[in-house]
Amino acid sequence: MYLEKFIAVLLMGAVAVPATSAFAQSVAIRQQVPLPTFDVASVRPMSYDDGARTHIYNSPRTSEFKAVNVTLRDLLEVAWSIPETQMLGGPAWASTDKFDIEAKSDAPFNEQLAALSDEQGKEKKRQMLRALLADRFKLAAHTEKREMPAYALIIAKGGAKLVKTDASGTSLSGGRGRISIKGGDDALAVLAFELSCRLGRPVVDQTGLQGQYELTLNWTDDDGPSPASNASNGPSLFTAIQEQLGLKLEATKGPVPVLVIDRAERPSEN
């Protein structure tokens, strides 16, 4: 999923309806640990001539979740933190049909989220989105590991060239031929996720690096150089990773976490 899906907030006017149904409850019972749910949620199909860009707003500090022009697979990436390159099964429309989604909970739940750490808040929001997808898309999915080709993200000879930061949270920006990440304890995991999306193959973080970093990566892709690089003959992505970050992508094969979509249905009307 390209970074543009995460870097804008778009308010959407939609009629809200209760988000919890008997189906979602039955899923929670089978899982034995009830998933937290949004109090209200709206799901609207979009037509292909709507012309909207893809945006997702999902702060770990509030119960609000807003998305515009997203596919079911886009939502699965957020709900499980697994890139589309590591998804198996599911109907063809999960990659093509677009939706607007708006969901939220009441003020007391916002206060609970605000008391959690960023990572705890992210996991809570992932669980809430999974419950919404089970309710509205009748989604059934599970994770497992499959042997498949991948790239290992490792430290290159000479050492990493990463800058430490004390910024709270994780911020992302970028576009064609560019990725910029700042803050958070999961900067390398976020980088591996984004590289997986760009390369169409799973990227596994094996750097062993922990802590908060900020990094910017510019390269020339198949469509030309990054607008930020102003270079007509800039480096390839593999070269840029080594020269700019002191990291390296190494082709490998091994067990990779995948999300298997067992069942999904187009959502019912609000």
Predicted pLDDT at 34: 66
Mean per-residue pLDDT for 58-66? 89
CB neighbours of 208 closer than 8 A, spacing ≥ 6?
155
pLDDT interval class at 6 (50, 70, 90): very low
Residues 137 and 237 in one domain: no
Residues 121 and 153 in one domain: no
pTM of the model: 0.75
Flag whether pLDDT at 44 surpasses 90. Answer: yes
State how far Cα 194 lies from the chain centre: 9
Predicted pLDDT at 21: 42
Number of neighbouring beta carbons within 10 Å of residue 62? 17
Residues 117 and 236 in one domain: no
Flag whether pLDDT at 40 surpasses 90. Answer: yes
Flag whether pLDDT at 24 surpasses 50. Answer: no
Identify which has the larger pLDDT, 60 or 4: 60
Predicted pLDDT at 8: 34
Residue 66 lies in a domain: yes
Residues 231 and 149 in one domain: yes
pLDDT interval class at 140 (50, 70, 90): very high
Predicted pLDDT at 50: 62
Residues 54 and 172 in one domain: no
Predicted pLDDT at 16: 32
Q: Which of 143-157, 174-188, 199-213, 225-239 has the lowest mean pLDDT?
A: 225-239
Residues 129 and 19 in one domain: yes
Residue 70 lies in a domain: yes
What is the CA angle 166-167-173, rounded to 5?
135
Residue 216 lies in a domain: yes
Residues 149 and 242 in one domain: yes
Half-sphere exposure of 102 (CA within 13 A, CB side): 12
What's the total number of domains in the chain? 2
Residues 112 and 155 in one domain: no
Residue 91: beta bridge partners?
Answer: none
Residue 58 lies in a domain: yes
**Contact present, 105 and 50 (Cβ < 8 Å):** no
Continuous segment of H or E residues that includes residue 124: helix 118-136
pLDDT interval class at 49 (50, 70, 90): low
Residues 111 and 152 in one domain: no
Q: In percent, how much of the chain has pLDDT > 70?
A: 79
Domain that holds residue 205: 145-256
Residue 270 lies in a domain: no
**Contact present, 181 and 167 (Cβ < 8 Å):** no
Residues 176 and 215 in one domain: yes
**Contact present, 178 and 226 (Cβ < 8 Å):** yes
Residue 88: beta bridge partners?
Answer: 260
53 three-state secondary structure: coil
Residue 269 lies in a domain: no
CA-to-CA dists, residue 77 to 126, 143, 223, 250, angstroms:
10, 12, 25, 24
Residue 268 lies in a domain: no
Q: Which of 41-55, 78-92, 106-120, 176-190 has the lowest mean pLDDT?
A: 41-55
Residues 133 and 172 in one domain: no
Residues 134 and 151 in one domain: no
